[in-house]
Copies of this chain bind each other. A is one copy, B any other.
């Protein structure tokens, strides 16, 4: 089955997991194909942290996702456009994506605020519903939401900015990634029902507005390659909301779907399944911000095709690397004399050339190469775990492989 999403985008499902939602497919984009399920490497500010694009490609990574929020603030979307767009700017010649900016507007507004400077979001609400508007105002929060969009303060310098669905589309149009996302409100997984419902319904209205502006902008791309738009399903951990959101977004003329929201771990299995059982089958589905090893199995089994996560590079910079037995911390004293690779049998650049003892030395010496070598390993680990999951779907050995992995991997 091949679905032509639109001009120069198509998605082909090669094989489905028997009795489950999971599938292996191929996503065609103007900058090449992505074999799915695939781990999407995150290049927040137009670079995968501590890695060159050649090092990224060398891990087997197929696609890079950058953050609209960050690129908007620095260097600015017009400069990215003038540098030839995201891929050309950063020297990555494969497929690219940008998120909508929504997640950072809300989470960085929240995370970087002082005690009284927080976004008015789920955590300010009761189980009964949203904090009253006047109460939100009073708190002097970093971001404030209205029907039209979100006003927020830059985490860099406190300057005030405003995103609307239309603005997010315009920024993503200039950044020029192959695949873009509709502007959404990303709520906390602990948000109460009433607020989740309110935010979800707003996200649906924003998705319609995103799509309308996206279509206008695509007419004016000239010689720049066309882009695809993914609509984002929200709804938190509530089954009826997730299903409603999947039904609503699923009817829209978008090219693919994002499944948004910070899941609490226990909800991964259920929430992703609820949504994917209802979304149209033929378009790709991106599980936003998810990418721990065990989550890749669960998400793929529940029908997600794309996953992204800053985890592998973020934990790498702290000395933490993945192995099939779980994470290990290279700052641990036992590694300073360990002449083995980060993981026995690993085929990555780092493991085929350096010892744990050397990488541990680099961390202890505060050398940048430490972050590079650990990041390469972690990205390779997830990218290739995902590839093996894909092969296991194609070969009918998924359940067996999952069982083996879960038995060995210690969280």
- Interface residues of A, Cβ cutoff 8 Å to B: 45-47, 49-52, 70, 74-75, 79, 82-83, 89-91, 336-337, 339, 353-355, 357-358, 360-362, 364-365, 367-369, 371-372
Least distance between A379 CB and chain B CB atoms (Å): 14
Q: A52–B364 contact, CB under 8 A?
A: no
Q: B339–A83 contact, CB under 8 A?
A: yes
Q: Identify which of A45, A90, A369 gathers the most chain B CB atoms within 10 Å of its CB.
A: A369
With A50-B369, A364-B74, A369-B51 in contact, is A91–B353 under 8 Å at CB? yes
Q: B91–A49 contact, CB under 8 A?
A: no
B residues within 8 A CB of A372? 52, 368, 372
Docked complex Cα distance between A134 and B64 (Å): 64
Q: A339–B82 contact, CB under 8 A?
A: yes
Least distance between A334 CB and chain B CB atoms (Å): 13
Oligomer copy total: 2
Least distance between A74 CB and chain B CB atoms (Å): 6
What are 29 A-to-B residue pairs whose CB atoms are below 8 Å? A45-B361, A45-B367, A46-B361, A47-B362, A47-B365, A47-B367, A49-B367, A49-B368, A50-B369, A51-B369, A75-B357, A75-B360, A75-B361, A75-B364, A79-B336, A79-B337, A79-B357, A79-B361, A82-B337, A82-B357, A83-B339, A83-B355, A83-B357, A89-B355, A89-B358, A90-B358, A91-B353, A368-B368, A368-B371
Docked complex Cα distance between A89 and B361 (Å): 10
Partner of A358, one of B46, B70, B337: B46
Residue of B nearest to A53 (CB): B353
Least distance between A120 CB and chain B CB atoms (Å): 28
Q: Identify which of A50, A70, A83, A368 gathers the most chain B CB atoms within 10 Å of its CB.
A: A368
Least distance between A335 CB and chain B CB atoms (Å): 11
Docked complex Cα distance between A355 and B89 (Å): 8
Least distance between A292 CB and chain B CB atoms (Å): 23
Partner of A75, one of B336, B354, B371: B336
Least distance between A156 CB and chain B CB atoms (Å): 9
Docked complex Cα distance between A247 and B332 (Å): 51
Docked complex Cα distance between A354 and B88 (Å): 9
Q: B52–A369 contact, CB under 8 A?
A: yes
